[in-house]
Chains A and B, each alone.
Chain A
Amino acid sequence: MNIHEFQAKDILRAEGVPIPPGEVATTPEQVEAIARKIGGMVVVKAQVHTGGRGKAGGVKLAKTPAEAKEIATKILGMQINGLTVHQVLVTTAADIATEAYVGIILDRASRKPVFMVSPAGGIDIEEVAAKTPEKILKLPIDTRYGLQGYQANELGFFLFPDDVKKVRAVAKIMMALYQAFMKNDASLAEINPLVVTPSGEILALDAKISIDDNALDRHPELVALRDETAEEPSEVDARNSNLTFIKLDGDVGCVVNGAGLAMATMDLVKYYGGEPANFLDIGGSSNPEKVVNALRIITADPSVKVILFNIFGGITRTDDVANGIVTATRANPLKIPIVIRLTGTNEEIAMKILTENGFSASSDMDEAVMKAVALAKGGKAA
């Protein structure tokens, strides 16, 4: 789960990371009031779950409260990478002498969280890693013991080799960042940039935290931070129905059990010349209700021209899926064709249910995908 910059900053501030004062607003009037309260030059920042906000015009400086209000009028409601801006953060504009990058990401290879720090801050860290890897220090942490003082110092010395005062300040920030990462079950926590002001003060100007979805059950306080207006509505609907759904641009709506098979099904649609409309995993347990919800979500997308079911029954009982299809289409008759592939647990019963209710089904994946692609193209099914 992604959270907004202002939420990430609240978390880091609570751990003791120095962050300039700021508040979030949803109207230009609020922005003006906050700018007046903070005083001086402020920066107005769009709060959306995507990168490239600056380039898109979603981050602007304002000299006066009136100018902040005027800027907010433009930013609020604007689209950045397809997402509408509903909130802005108004914060003190800091003067910058130097910029650094600090972050913690979960590293699969070492099976540990890894600190990454670089004096080349403010830019894309992946680019730094690709072009000038010597400018990045990577430090894996054994979470059984946590970040040790000497390790925090090491990170500080990498950023400021000649300034022990700054090293100590950075070490403190590293400790706070690590605490925030572990306490909140983050999969990513980064400060980019971490700046030094002309007066020598160290400040976190931007922050990003992603929470491990698997850990949300033990963090109701973080679930409350979820901003559903920042997501695709169909994906919110799917999550509330316990389905994993990701909307794509094609016209073949896919309903599959299991993530790997769901991806392989999308790929096969593409292989046979079609375009998948979505990724949808109905999961392992069989529950006809899930199928009903899946069909509702997929048919709500007007670009979907055909529905493709690909179910390999293991834990999932294919007769439950068949019952779900019958129930859902009885309540809301389909206006588009449906292609069903079922095999595995209780396949014979499922086939019988489907045939009795006027559906046809196949047990071969390639055959079903080819048929769905042909139907999406308006041709006759093979």
Chain B
Amino acid sequence: MSIFIDNSSTVIVQGITGRDGSFHSKQMLEYGTRIVGGVTPGKGGQKFEGTVPIYDTVHEAVKATGANTSVIYVPPMFAADAMMEAADAGIEFIVAITEGVPVNDMTKVYPFVKEKGARLLGPNCPGLITPGQSKVGIIPGRICTPGSIGVVSRSGTLTYEVVYQLTRAGLGQSTCVGIGGDPIIGTSFIDCLEAFEKDPDTKAVAMMGEIGGTDEQEAAEFVKKHMKKPVVGFIAGQTAPPGRRMGHAGAIISGSAGTAAEKIESFEAAGMGVAKRPIDFVELLKARM
């Protein structure tokens, strides 16, 4: 078991012939992800790497392949359209990797996707990986190893850092999910925590948050009320100055809200372990399992 994806997930890649899309499609195929099709308007009928059929539209791709998952690598100005197309075609799980999607576009996409009954991960996220089974997105496969730690994070490379340290210490992962650094994202910390709590293969959760917004505080509240499994948290941006956007569009302290201190306080109040450094996850998780 795992959350959101496993070896039964059938995946199409939107933007499969683009620079990022083609590079990461190859990596996903190498990892064993079941990529059943790609979509690039105007290139329908061609094959990617000689094996994966390409379609002009997501509707066609879904009809021909029965795919239930889509991963999006299209440029930011077209990403909102791609997400809506996937949801409209009946895709159940949409993973939007694209960075730089205008936020106002997302205010239209989110309710649309929800009404279609689909789950959206991202945008501006590294995707997710269920080690040994499937990866959808860009998380490097070789730093992960199968196991029982659920990992959820707002960041990309920071996730890699923590996963790498867990793997080195012999702590494998059930699923690693990057939810994305934008202010409006499809899947929240709470959605992932809820799924990890239900997943019999997950024994404990590592959660990496950052400054900005109140997602982490709400997640801590959820941990306190609804979770039996131990959760260890980390907040990036303890040294960030207020009012500045720290790379991620969502990482900004507004007035007194969204600081690392208030988030860490909420973790402590929820009885969670608090990692002061990425390396601290190892000992804190071991002590709780």
Q: Do A and B bind each other?
A: yes
A201 at the interface (CB under 8 A from B): no
Inter-chain contact A365/B161, CB cutoff 8 Å: yes
Inter-chain contact A263/B251, CB cutoff 8 Å: yes
A293 at the interface (CB under 8 A from B): no
A359 at the interface (CB under 8 A from B): no
A253 at the interface (CB under 8 A from B): no
Inter-chain contact A144/B77, CB cutoff 8 Å: no
* Given the contacts A144-B108, A279-B240, A260 and B155 also touching, CB distance less than 8 Å: yes
Name the residue on B nearest A2 (C-beta): B243
Query: How many whole Å from B244's CB to the nearest CB in chain A?
Result: 5
B→A interface (CB under 8 Å): 20, 23, 76-77, 99-104, 106-108, 110-112, 126, 138-140, 143, 153-161, 164, 181, 183-184, 208, 210-211, 213-215, 218, 234, 236-241, 244-251, 255-257, 260, 276-279
- The listed residue (A106, A264, A284) touching B183 by CB distance below 8 A is A106
Interface string of A230-249 (1 = CB under 8 A from B): 00000000000000101010
A348 at the interface (CB under 8 A from B): no
Inter-chain contact A259/B238, CB cutoff 8 Å: no
Inter-chain contact B156/A314, CB cutoff 8 Å: yes
* Given the contacts A258-B155, A259-B155, A259-B247, A212 and B102 also touching, CB distance less than 8 Å: yes
Inter-chain contact B161/A262, CB cutoff 8 Å: no
> What bracket does the count of chain A residues touching chain B fall in?
35 or more
Bound Cα distance from A249 to B168, whole angstroms: 35
Contacts of B159 in A (CB 8 A): 260
Bound Cα distance from A271 to B183, whole angstroms: 28
* Given the contacts A215-B102, A312-B164, A365-B278, A260 and B111 also touching, CB distance less than 8 Å: no
Query: How many whole Å from B181's CB to the nearest CB in chain A?
Result: 6
Task: Point out which of A111, A187, A213, A345 has the most chain B C-beta atoms below 10 A from its C-beta.
Answer: A111
Bound Cα distance from A126 to B256, whole angstroms: 8
Inter-chain contact A248/B239, CB cutoff 8 Å: yes
Besides the known contacts A261-B160, A314-B138, 20 further A-B residue pairs in the complex with CB atoms under 8 A apart: A142-B111, A214-B100, A214-B102, A214-B249, A215-B104, A217-B100, A246-B241, A258-B158, A260-B157, A260-B158, A261-B236, A267-B238, A270-B239, A271-B276, A279-B244, A284-B99, A313-B140, A315-B23, A365-B161, A365-B279
Interface string of A346-382 (1 = CB under 8 A from B): 0000000000000000000110000000000000000
Query: How many whole Å from B284's CB to the nearest CB in chain A?
Result: 15
Task: Point out which of B104, B111, B140, B153 has the most chain A C-beta atoms below 10 A from its C-beta.
Answer: B104
Bound Cα distance from A200 to B239, whole angstroms: 48
Bound Cα distance from A244 to B138, whole angstroms: 21
Inter-chain contact A260/B183, CB cutoff 8 Å: no
Contacts of A108 in B (CB 8 A): 183-184, 213-215, 250
Name the residue on B nearest A212 (C-beta): B103
Contacts of A144 in B (CB 8 A): 108, 111-112
A5 at the interface (CB under 8 A from B): no
Contacts of A264 in B (CB 8 A): 155, 158, 161, 234, 236, 278
Bound Cα distance from A142 to B104, whole angstroms: 11
Inter-chain contact A126/B255, CB cutoff 8 Å: yes
Query: How many whole Å from A3's CB to the nearest CB in chain B?
Result: 15
Inter-chain contact A106/B184, CB cutoff 8 Å: yes
* Given the contacts A143-B104, A262-B247, A271 and B277 also touching, CB distance less than 8 Å: yes
Query: How many whole Å from A113's CB to the nearest CB in chain B?
Result: 6
Inter-chain contact B236/A106, CB cutoff 8 Å: no
Inter-chain contact B107/A263, CB cutoff 8 Å: no
A257 at the interface (CB under 8 A from B): yes
Inter-chain contact B143/A344, CB cutoff 8 Å: yes
Task: Point out which of B100, B103, B108, B153 has the most chain A C-beta atoms below 10 A from its C-beta.
Answer: B103
- The listed residue (A260, A266, A271, A366) touching B181 by CB distance below 8 A is A260
Bound Cα distance from A142 to B278, whole angstroms: 39
A112 at the interface (CB under 8 A from B): yes
Name the residue on A nearest B19 (C-beta): A285
Contacts of B249 in A (CB 8 A): 212-214
A343 at the interface (CB under 8 A from B): yes
17 inter-chain pairs at a CB distance below 8 angstroms, sorted by A residue, are A106-B184, A108-B215, A108-B250, A111-B184, A126-B257, A214-B101, A214-B102, A215-B103, A217-B77, A258-B158, A259-B155, A260-B157, A260-B236, A261-B155, A284-B99, A314-B126, A314-B140
A268 at the interface (CB under 8 A from B): yes
Inter-chain contact B239/A366, CB cutoff 8 Å: no
- The listed residue (B103, B140, B260) touching A214 by CB distance below 8 A is B103
